Structure 1
């Protein structure tokens, strides 16, 4: 007796995926009745907004230093054309031949770290490529090769970007310490920008340590946790953070943009940094 779910005769090899022979024949693309498209659309919109903003700021090459604050997009400043930053990480590694924005020299490391991040890969695969659009919704692509071909095979360098992201986060921590100064570089002061930088660096470190690669580095390939109590404790802490990896990814993305925009407002004269003491 026919059930209406048998594959059509003579269609062997004609279709793949959910439409391949042997799969239930359902005319509808999916049976979900909720607004399943809202989540990937919101994800795409959020990522696109950050891409637009960060691109503008990276190429702007201005208003990125307002003593004692330096934008996280421009730190460390590695070009000769950097604005002098008293006490800040201003290293003229690249000579006068570099005429573009110095942010382009350092942003490649945190950008590469986030671009190859497991969560962000899932986010922009679904948001921009619809691969897949959502759970229980078939993707529109006829073929699927995963991350085995160029350029997606380069996603495997995520661990090495983690190694590069750690010293960058360390430098941003140093910038946060320098934020406890006033405009005359006297210590023992705190402003609204100091709090902005404190929140930002805490979220950046939390996101960095919640990374799947970090968790594997500190506790991976151990057969007996009892023989490695320190690494087991680190692995446990990383695991707790890893459970909030998505939330930390978004929170740190917003915080680094807010910190940069705060410096832009102060440096451009649109806003005066209020000092608490």
Structure 2
């Protein structure tokens, strides 16, 4: 018997709301729908573990003429490994932690707020939702309107920071055409790896949805802006491959760092092409 003091029952919402078809099963999919989010979660988790280890290591990130993309640009005085290399030393000697922590916040913020990566880790780690036509287990859904997910709106600003970072990595790639004595005319296996990496980095950065909006998102008449229209069309074609470029660039930047780590640790010498 109701006493009049009982709290009102919360009405079902989401897939269990009154406006949705009553269905006891969570979903009707019979394929292995869980493979995609599980594989995504495993891939992202592996990169997070590897990049965290390398970022806090503070060692084996420079083997002339190669500098790990995790540590470039090197902004602290404690970049002792890079004496004679591209060390900018803007923060002086007060920074005692790994120099990678000064720069990784920008590419990390860019990728963490990326539209594709949001979908990837929302599905892979939070099951929100785990897959198409599969209901998520959460009782409430607030989207990206509350902290901390409201910070995802900063993606466009991280894009502005990612462009100069890509420019610095381009400079580092040019420097790989020197030998260990900093003489030009060298090309090693690492040079090829860095060329592939910077190509993928630029392709991923320019295929960003924010870049597409910058190029032509506010234009009312494309015919009055033929140059921006061409750029918008080119970026739009890249944008169609944004997911593939996100994974390819993630793998390539880790591969370049690992290659430098092996060279700096003396595992082998860089095979010279010419």
Normalised by the length of structure 1, the TM-score is 0.94
Moved more, 90-99 or 139-148: 90-99
Is 1:121 paired with 2:109?
no
Is 1:179 paired with 2:187?
no
SS in 1 for 2:90: strand
State the match for 2:139 in structure 1.
142
8 Å CA contact 1:18–1:138 kept in 2: the answer is yes
Moved more, 141-150 or 82-91: 82-91
Is 1:65 paired with 2:58?
no
Instruction: Give me the whole-angstrom Cα distance separating, in 1, the residues matched to 2:265 and 2:87.
Output: 20
Give 1:13 shift: 4.9
Give 1:89 shift: 3.3
Moved more, 87-96 or 124-133: 87-96
Instruction: Give me the whole-angstrom Cα distance separating, in 1, the residues matched to 2:84 and 2:114.
Output: 32
Is 1:36 paired with 2:33?
yes
Which sections of structure 2, spanning at least 5 residues, go unmatched? 1-8
Give 1:261 shift: 0.2
State the match for 2:219 in structure 1.
222
Structure 1 residues 37-80: Cα deviation after superposition (integer angstroms, max 9, x where no partner): 00000000000000000000000000000000000000000000
State the match for 2:53 in structure 1.
56
Moved more, 78-87 or 118-127: 78-87
8 Å CA contact 2:207–2:235 kept in 1: the answer is yes
Instruction: Give me the whole-angstrom Cα distance separating, in 2, the residues matched to 1:85 and 1:179.
Output: 14
Instruction: Give me the whole-angstrom Cα distance separating, in 2, the residues matched to 1:88 and 1:228.
Output: 43
Instruction: Give me the whole-angstrom Cα distance separating, in 2, the residues matched to 1:14 and 1:162.
Output: 41
Instruction: Give me the whole-angstrom Cα distance separating, in 2, the residues matched to 1:246 and 1:229.
Output: 28
Structure 1 residues 166-217: Cα deviation after superposition (integer angstroms, max 9, x where no partner): 0010000000000001111110110000000000000000000000000000
8 Å CA contact 1:63–1:264 kept in 2: the answer is yes
Structure 1 residues 63-118: Cα deviation after superposition (integer angstroms, max 9, x where no partner): 00000000000000000000353664311111211110000000000000000000
Instruction: Give me the whole-angstrom Cα distance separating, in 2, the residues matched to 1:232 and 1:262.
Output: 40
8 Å CA contact 2:59–2:81 kept in 1: the answer is no
8 Å CA contact 1:162–1:214 kept in 2: the answer is yes
Instruction: Give me the whole-angstrom Cα distance separating, in 2, the residues matched to 1:21 and 1:243.
Output: 37
State the match for 2:269 in structure 1.
272
The count of aligned residue pairs is 267
Instruction: Give me the whole-angstrom Cα distance separating, in 1, the residues matched to 2:75 and 2:127.
Output: 38
8 Å CA contact 1:76–1:171 kept in 2: the answer is yes
State the match for 2:101 in structure 1.
104
Give 1:14 shift: 2.8
8 Å CA contact 1:64–1:264 kept in 2: the answer is yes
Q: Which of residues 231, 234, 243 is equivalent to 1:234?
A: 231
Instruction: Give me the whole-angstrom Cα distance separating, in 1, the residues matched to 2:232 and 2:20.
Output: 42
Instruction: Give me the whole-angstrom Cα distance separating, in 2, the residues matched to 1:227 and 1:89.
Output: 43
State the match for 2:3 in structure 1.
none
8 Å CA contact 1:65–1:83 kept in 2: the answer is no
Which sections of structure 1, spanning at least 5 residues, go unmatched? 1-11
8 Å CA contact 1:115–1:121 kept in 2: the answer is yes
State the match for 2:6 in structure 1.
none
